[in-house]
Structure 1
Amino acid sequence: MENKLTHEGDAFINFRDYSFRKPGAHAYRWVDIRHLRIPAETMGDGELLAGLIGHEQFRDDYAGGGVQPGGARHGPYRRRMVTPDAYEAVDRAKAARILREWANQFGDVPAELEADLQRQVLNRLATADTIHYLSGLGSEAFHDWGGVHTAFHEFVFIERSAGRVTLLVAADD
């Protein structure tokens, strides 16, 4: 079946070069953002999530290997375990709270990093029509080395007016 979503572009925010690290802070933290164009035809959120899950850009273990066209991993999970039903619809306040708590877990982020987060993440969050959060899969859905991420937060922002689906992963590894 042909996937109706078209990869539009990416953004990556790396926390590594910021001097706010404190004892216990994890050195490899980042936000990966992928934008996909929604087709002109009307699709429901479930169809868009299914299209995203089926898209080549979804086949990334987020551990340095990049997108694997035939890949069976998505982040820490076996890709086949991720379904549209695994996503919880959340409101802006909950999504912002999860992202802020993750970003600031070792102290407030520096101004330059905050500006990147505002522009690339929080502004998109503010314009999303619907927000979905991958939750509840648990360790039983992990692939063979899926526990490598100490934190893995995944959101899908659907912006119908912009004709875009945004896949956002914020993680520590």
Structure 2
Amino acid sequence: MDNGLTHGASFFINFRRYLPDPKEHGFRWVDIKQLHFSNEYLDDRALLAALIAHEQFRDDYAGGGVLPDGSRHGPYWLRLITPELYEPISQEKAVQILREWIDPLWDVPTEMEENLQREVFARLAAANGIYYLGELSDEAIHDWGRVHDYFHEFVLIDRSTSQINLIVAADD
């Protein structure tokens, strides 16, 4: 079921690819799912609800990929995620969260920084709305959901292109 959203493309940035020593930051990655929406969505909360209901949202981000009938989203039980859990945040705050996660003490390789700029930070700059899924309660964490050391999730709404970008930045 697409709920008025159509999956357009996916992008994956694996930090390991850019490192001379893969053991250093080797299990960090950014996953981006780009979806298109129709103009019927006038309200961001309705778009968030449609995204949560979309099969691309059913990804445990632990190697299983998208499971159309899945019951997990990242470390959380899918049934416990609602649009109200997403907090609107500024572009500056989103960039701060990501930069702190990337690690300000690490010299990011040029090619990786270019990919992050193009695939993540340019999307943040273009978004009309940025929503952040904060850490949920222990009750929301599924049976093996603690495989992620960090799990940052952003939903970017770009009305000029009728796109939603689901960006997950995590360590496992």
Q: TM-score range by the shorter chain?
A: over 0.9
| Local SS of the residue matching 1:40 | coil
Partner of 1:153: 152
Deviation at 1:101, TM superposition (A): 0.8
Q: Check whether the contact 1:20–1:109 (CA below 8 A) recurs between aligned residues.
A: no
Distance between the aligned counterparts of 2:159 and 2:21, measured in 1?
A: 38
Q: Check whether the contact 1:21–1:106 (CA below 8 A) recurs between aligned residues.
A: no
Q: Check whether the contact 1:72–1:78 (CA below 8 A) recurs between aligned residues.
A: yes
Superposed, 1:78-117 pairs within 5 Å as 78-104=77-103, 107-117=106-116
| Local SS of the residue matching 2:111 | helix
Deviation at 1:19, TM superposition (A): 2.4
Superposed, 1:14-29 pairs within 5 Å as 14-19=14-19, 25-29=24-28
Percent identical pairs in the alignment equals 56
Distance between the aligned counterparts of 1:80 and 1:21, measured in 2?
A: 39
Distance between the aligned counterparts of 2:26 and 2:103, measured in 1?
A: 14
Larger mean CA deviation between 35-44 and 147-156 belongs to 35-44
**CA 1:27–1:105 in structure 2 vs 1: closer, same or farther (change >3 Å)?**
farther
Q: Check whether the contact 2:16–2:25 (CA below 8 A) recurs between aligned residues.
A: no
Q: Check whether the contact 2:158–2:164 (CA below 8 A) recurs between aligned residues.
A: yes
**CA 1:57–1:157 in structure 2 vs 1: closer, same or farther (change >3 Å)?**
same
Which deviations, in whole Å up to 9, do the C-alpha atoms of 1:86-139 show, x marking residues without a partner?
100000000000011111256121111000000000000001001000014133
Distance between the aligned counterparts of 1:21 and 1:131, measured in 2?
A: 34
Partner of 1:5: 5
Structure 2 spans left out of the alignment, 5+ residues: none
**CA 1:108–1:139 in structure 2 vs 1: closer, same or farther (change >3 Å)?**
farther
Q: Check whether the contact 1:22–1:106 (CA below 8 A) recurs between aligned residues.
A: no
Distance between the aligned counterparts of 1:105 and 1:137, measured in 2?
A: 26
Distance between the aligned counterparts of 2:118 and 2:112, measured in 1?
A: 10
| Local SS of the residue matching 1:109 | coil
Deviation at 1:158, TM superposition (A): 0.2
Distance between the aligned counterparts of 1:42 and 1:101, measured in 2?
A: 33
The number of equivalent residue pairs is 172
Superposed, 1:18-57 pairs within 5 Å as 18-19=18-19, 25-57=24-56
| Local SS of the residue matching 1:17 | helix
Query: Once superposed, which parts of structure 1, at least 4 consecutive aligned residues long, lie more than 4 Å away?
Result: 20-23
**CA 1:160–1:76 in structure 2 vs 1: closer, same or farther (change >3 Å)?**
same
Task: Give the letter for the 1:5 counterpart.
Answer: L
Deviation at 1:29, TM superposition (A): 0.8
Distance between the aligned counterparts of 2:41 and 2:32, measured in 1?
A: 24
